[in-house]
């Protein structure tokens, strides 16, 4: 399954992102989550890859389960931070043997525990790894974009230069970091087009799952919380899980309405390995005949 063909032939493409479960209990929950979301018939699912190869085996096993057992169209991530060329080709060879056609390439962040000694030939930038993969494999490659700028970038304009380099080196579509103000996304796409980035740019949707998680991810990812959402977070009882989920579902549904009205090529949901919010949002959009 080559993602670019979906974006060429269907609109909007619905995709969902997961990370590999970390223990047996999480594995059982994950399988149930996948079954629930598969009923919505997403166009593809993607599986993340831990920094420094920390989830290498788990990522492969999860991709295998989705593709072979669950029969779901699947995209495999690879994060190159700390990995040498031979380690990267080992991972990619296994995905190729499995039948994976699309790889989502990111540099990845340095593991927080600081126990990893990076390989001396590891790639400093995703653009370098994309070029390395493109020269050796026939994968369709995707990459990440950052509507508010990567947290390490000196400016949004410089970050878009890096994105252009990734596309020039072989990336064929972009999935955006999540945002809570659609204006950031539309402005980003306009600037990317002006810079010569012509591939599909897909908005990332991160529903509010908990108040604590939303604030933590905002700090880590650099995705700002607009005043209207912050006011809602301040007003809701953070311990009332149902109320917080409803807030997140309503906010994300409204976001998606605005994005779909402008004709975005797809919606990419960061599920955090949960099914309820994504299910409710998509059902809302289907009821309104937006999907």
Q: Tens place of pLDDT for every residue, the chain, 291 residues?
A: 899 999 999 889 999 999 998 888 888 899 999 999 999 999 999 999 865 445 667 888 999 999 999 999 999 999 877 788 998 999 999 999 999 999 999 987 666 555 666 666 778 789 999 999 999 999 999 999 999 999 999 999 999 999 999 999 999 999 999 999 999 999 999 999 999 999 999 999 999 999 999 999 999 999 999 999 999 999 999 999 999 999 999 999 999 999 999 999 999 999 999 999 999 999 999 999 999
Domain residue limits, the chain: 3-287
One DSSP character per residue, 154-218 reads S-HHHHHHHHHHHHHTTEEEEEEEE-S-HHHHHHHHHHHHHTT--S-EEEEE-----HHHHHHHH
Cis peptide before 12 (omega within 30 of 0): yes
> What are the residues whose beta carbons fall under 8 Å from the beta carbon of 38, sequence distance 6 or more?
70, 72
> What are the residues whose beta carbons fall under 8 Å from the beta carbon of 49, sequence distance 6 or more?
55, 56, 59, 76, 77, 78, 79, 91, 106, 108
Q: For residue 50, which of 110, 131, 126 has the smallest C-alpha distance?
A: 110
- pTM of the full predicted structure? 0.94
Q: What is the DSSP letter of 68?
A: I
Catalytic residue among 8, 17, 87, 280: 17
What is d(CA 6, CA 168) in angstroms, rounded to the nearest whole number? 21
What CATH topology corresponds to 3-287? TIM Barrel (3.20.20)
What is d(CA 146, CA 43) in angstroms, rounded to the nearest whole number? 23
Is 25 designated active site? no
């Amino acid at each position: 399954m080559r993602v670019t063909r979906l974006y060429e032939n269907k609109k909007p493409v619905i995709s969902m992102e997961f990370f590999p479960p970390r223990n047996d209990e999480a594995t059982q929950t994950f399988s149930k989550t996948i079954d629930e979301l598969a009923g919505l018939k997403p166009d593809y699912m993607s599986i993340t890859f831990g920094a420094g190869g920390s989830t290498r085996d788990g990522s492969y096993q999860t991709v295998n389960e989705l593709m072979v057992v669950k029969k779901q169209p699947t995209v495999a991530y690879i994060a190159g931070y700390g990995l040498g060329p031979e380690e990267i080709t080992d991972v990619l060879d296994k995905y190729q043997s499995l039948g994976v056609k699309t790889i989502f390439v990111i540099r990845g962040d340095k593991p927080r525990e600081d126990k990893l000694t990076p390989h001396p030939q590891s790639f400093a930038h995703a653009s370098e790894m994309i070029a390395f993969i493109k020269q050796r494999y026939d994968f369709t490659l995707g990459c990440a974009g950052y509507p508010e700028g990567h947290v390490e970038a000196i400016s949004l304009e410089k970050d878009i230069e890096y994105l252009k380099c990734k596309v020039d080196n072989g990336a064929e579509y972009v999935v955006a970091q999540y945002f809570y103000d659609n204006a950031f996304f539309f402005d980003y796409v306009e600037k990317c087009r002006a810079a010569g980035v012509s591939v599909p740019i897909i908005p990332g949707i991160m529903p509010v799952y908990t108040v604590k998680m939303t604030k933590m991810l905002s700090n880590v990812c650099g995705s700002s919380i607009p005043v209207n959402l912050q006011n809602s977070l301040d007003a809701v009882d953070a311990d009332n899980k149902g109320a917080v989920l409803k807030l997140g579902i309503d906010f994300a549904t409204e976001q998606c309405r605005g994005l779909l009205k402008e004709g975005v090529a797809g919606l990419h949901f960061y599920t955090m390995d949960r099914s309820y919010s994504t299910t409710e949002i998509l059902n809302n959009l289907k009821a309104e005949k937006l999907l």
